[in-house]
Amino acid sequence: MAHELGSVVISADARQCYKELDIGTAKPEPELLKLAEHKYISILSPEEKESASAFRKRADAWEAEHKSHHPETPVVYAGGSTLYLQSLLFDLDDMPSSNPENMKQLQEEDGKSGIETLYERLRKVDPDYVAQIDGMNRHRIYRAIDVWLQTGKPFSSFHKRIDFSEPRPGSVVWQIEWPRAELHRRINVRVDRMIEQGLVEEVKGLLERYPESLQSLQTVGYREVISFLKGETNKEQMIADIKTNTRRYAKRQLTWFRRWPFVKKLDAETLDVNQMKNTVLEELKDYLR
């Protein structure tokens, strides 16, 4: 679609932005990357930290640059992470920056008592946010507790908008919709393919150069492989855990989409890729006039 529009694709995936994290993030194939200019793919080192607000600033700059040369052509966003999508669709909530002292203290507590202790601490002060995050995600747990320590308010309270009915002007959103059973089947196939492509070897190589505590590695797929490489689980259980946690992540994504009444659905059971593309392009004509 971006190729036909002469547009640019900005990924809204919170992990495809990292170099060296290729198989586990299912980055677009080289032939797709050649069809149109892509932004936010493999631009950060695995050691760099990133946030939804930083992504929004990057996206605004890329969009402004594109519009300066092609004012009549929309930018195509693809993916991915629901918090990043929300940062595009609505103005960001005003929350404090990370406090280095808090982060250091939390890291020390993690080292002494384990991430499970911090997870339970967060559950007590902010159960709503715990229900959203993908398991023992150190970066998100640290950040949520940090905000609570600074403000006395749950991290989730900064994300609670009353009205999600109207996104930023000019935003048009489509969701590819699969029946649950087919979605789960596709997840299983995707995970099996990642294992065949060498996900374990990819993670092993990353751990030779980087610590497992990196924000970039607190990700479904990578966390489970790390547990396997540490001898905490066997290969069959590792694969089963990746599939289970991916299904849970997909379920949380769908919950976010249900909050947005403006999302248009594309029925993947009845439409092939070209039909979906043409449906979107046809509807875009009204917005491009």
Domain ranges of the chain: 100-159
User: pLDDT band at residue 289, thresholds of 50, 70 and 90?
Assistant: low
Dump pLDDT digits (tens) for 262-282.
999 999 999 999 999 999 999
User: pLDDT band at residue 27, thresholds of 50, 70 and 90?
Assistant: very high
User: pLDDT band at residue 78, thresholds of 50, 70 and 90?
Assistant: very high
Token pair of 5 as six digits: 């529009």
* pTM strictly above 0.75: yes
User: pLDDT band at residue 98, thresholds of 50, 70 and 90?
Assistant: confident
Give the percent of the chain with pLDDT over 70. Answer: 96
Picking from 69, 74, 258, the residue whose alpha carbon sits closest to that of residue 177 is 258
Task: Please determine, looking at this structure, whether the domain spanning 100-159 carries the CATH number 3.40.1190.20.
Answer: no
Give the relative orientation of helices 199-207 and 222-229 as an angle to the nearest 10 degrees: 70
- Average pLDDT for 13-29: 96
Dump pLDDT digits (tens) for 106-164.
989 999 999 999 999 999 999 988 887 766 788 889 989 999 999 998 988 876 655 67
Please give the Cα distance from 22 to 241 (Å, whole number): 20
Please give the Cα distance from 269 to 120 (Å, whole number): 41
φ, ψ dihedrals at 237, nearest 5°:
-70, -40
- Average pLDDT for 65-79: 93
CB distance 42 to 16 below 8 Å: yes
Query: pLDDT averaged over the chain?
Result: 91
Give the residue with greater pLDDT, 280 vs 165: 280
Q: 230: exposed, middle or buried (C-beta count within 10 Å: 0-12, 13-18, 19+)?
A: exposed
CB distance 125 to 157 below 8 Å: no
Token pair of 24 as six digits: 């586990």
Dump pLDDT digits (tens) for 170-185.
899 999 999 999 999 9
CB distance 133 to 156 below 8 Å: no
The three-state secondary structure class of 130 is helix
CA dihedral 143, 226, 116, 187 (to 10 degrees): 80
State which H helix or E strand residue 25 sits in.
none
pLDDT for residue 164: 76
Picking from 89, 23, 102, the residue whose alpha carbon sits closest to that of residue 55 is 89
CA distances from 172 to 13, 63, 135, 147, 269 (A): 18, 15, 31, 32, 22
The three-state secondary structure class of 269 is coil
